Amino acid sequence: MANAVDLTKGKTPTKASKVWFVTKNERGELFAFGHARRDAPLGKPLYDTVGGNMENEDVDSYARCAMREVDEEVALPAKWSNAMMKSIVLLPQGDALLQLVHADWEAPQLVAMWLVKLDWQVAHAEQQPVVTEQGMHEMVQGSMKWRRIQDVVSSLRGFVFMYPVAEVLDRM
């Protein structure tokens, strides 16, 4: 294509992991657990989930990155943690491997994304994830909760670099 734009900026992509927890109510409506990002523009929330950039200690493993990032950002109830570990062991590269490109980033980002399915009762049990001190730096205070998947997808589509994430969630 003569007018093609090089979205990779000619650079080697960085790597990251995201873990979405999802559930379905008795009417079959889908929900995703996440938060509003602190770095989103005022009045335009960007719903996201736990996760982040791969670091040297992850030894180029998306699975290790996911487990470390979740541990840094939230304390999970045991049943949530067990479900996440099963997902990561079964799919060490995630349910999807996405390329995200942002105008402000030095290079594109390859993101392994897991969709951890929780039973409705487990998802809404008394014990819920608790945001850690580090997690508080990335999230709008009090914003971590269950949202209808359509609302999450709509928020993500408001940010071009998050389109690939929105597409995966929208196909659920």
d(CA 2, CA 15): 29
Which residues have a Cβ under 8 Å from the Cβ of 16 and sit 6 or more positions away? 51, 52, 53, 54, 65, 109, 110, 111, 112
Widest pairwise Cα distance in the chain? 57
Percent of the chain scoring above 90 in pLDDT: 87
d(CA 170, CA 22): 12
6 has pLDDT over 70: no
pLDDT for res 11: 80
Sorted by where each starts, the structural domains of the chain and their CATH numbers stand as 14-170 (3.90.79.10)
Q: What is the model's pTM?
A: 0.92
